[in-house]
């Protein structure tokens, strides 16, 4: 549980939790979602640790998950007819 000290989020408390959490991708969380959350956490910690140059930023130790080619969603391109319809509509609307 993260506590608030004097209405400020305690960076030290979060750092301790990150170091001892043994981070893994939760079972029903997609890898991309997890990576997006980790990216936001890293950015916040990077900003917070700017004032603490001698301290280790624990967010840098968080793992990210590689998304393989098989796990990426398939691209669903427009059919030739749909593309021509879109182009014709844009030409009539914007010239």
pLDDT, tens only, 6-39 = 434 455 555 555 555 555 555 667 788 888 888 8
Phi, psi of 55 (to 5 degrees): -90, 150
What is the C-alpha separation between 11 and 59, in angstroms, rounded?
Answer: 11
Q: Which residues contact 61 (CB under 8 A, 6 or more apart)?
A: 18, 19
The whole-number pLDDT of residue 6 equals 44
What is the C-alpha separation between 95 and 88, in angstroms, rounded?
Answer: 10
What is the C-alpha separation between 78 and 84, in angstroms, rounded?
Answer: 9
The whole-number pLDDT of residue 3 equals 43
The whole-number pLDDT of residue 92 equals 93
Alpha helices in the chain (DSSP H): 11-20, 31-48, 80-94
pLDDT digit string, tens, across residues 55-73: 888 888 888 888 888 888 8
Q: What is the band of 49 on the pLDDT scale with cuts at 50, 70, 90? A: confident
Q: What is the pTM of this model?
A: 0.48
């Amino acid at each position: 549980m993260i506590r608030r000290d004097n209405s400020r989020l305690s960076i030290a408390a979060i750092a301790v939790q990150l170091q001892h959490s043994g981070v893994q991708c939760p079972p029903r969380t997609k890898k991309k979602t997890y990576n997006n959350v980790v990216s936001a956490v890293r950015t916040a910690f990077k900003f917070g640790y700017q004032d603490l140059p001698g301290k280790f930023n624990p967010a840098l130790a968080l793992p990210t998950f590689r998304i393989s080619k098989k796990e990426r969603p398939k691209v669903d391109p427009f059919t030739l007819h749909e593309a021509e319809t879109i182009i014709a509509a844009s030409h009539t609307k914007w010239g």
